[in-house]
A = this chain, B = another copy of it.
Amino acid sequence: MISNDDGIHAKGLHKLIEIAREFGDVLVVAPHTARSGMSNAITVEVPVRLKEYESDTNFKSYSCTGTPVDCVKLAFDQLLDEKPDLILSGINHGSNSSVSVHYSGTMGATIEGCIHEVPSIGFSLCDHRPNANFSPMAPFARKIIAQVLENGLPKGTCLNVNVPKGNPEGIVVCRQGHGRWVEEFDKRTDPQKRNYYWITGFYKNMDNGSTDTDNHILETGRISIVPINIDMTHHKFLAELKNWKF
């Protein structure tokens, strides 16, 4: 089962479908339009719709008016007869490394697959352009998918795969980089003289030269794989916090 956050028309989604179909039957449920930055959001205030988009032997795709997580939830509840072997999300147009894992709709769908206890992988290419070239990464994506199909993933764990532009020089398993987006909202005034704000900003690396982070791996032209834990408990601090006087 495949979803994404760039929407049903995105080139990266169709590349991922092409790769996945080499492995077996494919069901796609993807947002009908771009839903970047949707994180793990679900749609509760309005109902959502599903529309059949394409179908072929061993392949069916639907567009959905909801978020990436809604897509995965609807697939499980309305469209799948049995648990899928894999949930794939992407290939995202743009990086989802480091702290972006929290904002990413691509990773939202991936984490939702993991919550449903299906091995799940999110793929992102560090190239925002609609016509980004996804071909150089295809052999690496195949290898990662094959490995996960063979070995499975531990319960509560999914993968965040980020790929540099161009020809990747290998794959490195690493940790989530430490940093944050420094926002500089672009404040403008509309014709009615009211202010409005566009989100903009740059990523600030706060790792002080560590080489075991996804950011560093990407900078050196290699593919980063970060295993993501859906149990967000800070187990190390938990023991200390138990000593506080509440």
Contact = CB atoms under 8 A, between A and B. Distances in A.
Interface of A: 34, 36-45, 47-50, 67, 69-70, 73-74, 76-78, 99, 101-103, 108, 111, 115-116, 140, 143-144, 147, 151, 154, 156-157, 170-171, 173-176, 178, 180, 183-185, 187-188, 194-199, 225-235, 237-238, 241-242, 244-246
B49 A178 contact: no
Contacts of A178: 156, 231
Contacts of A101: 232
A50 B196 CA distance: 7
Given A176-B231, A232-B232, A37 B47 contact: no
A148 to B, nearest CB: 9
Contacts of A140: 246
24 contacts: A36-B45, A37-B41, A37-B43, A39-B42, A39-B108, A42-B103, A43-B199, A47-B196, A70-B199, A73-B183, A73-B199, A77-B184, A78-B187, A99-B230, A102-B111, A102-B232, A144-B246, A173-B241, A175-B235, A176-B232, A226-B238, A227-B238, A227-B241, A229-B237
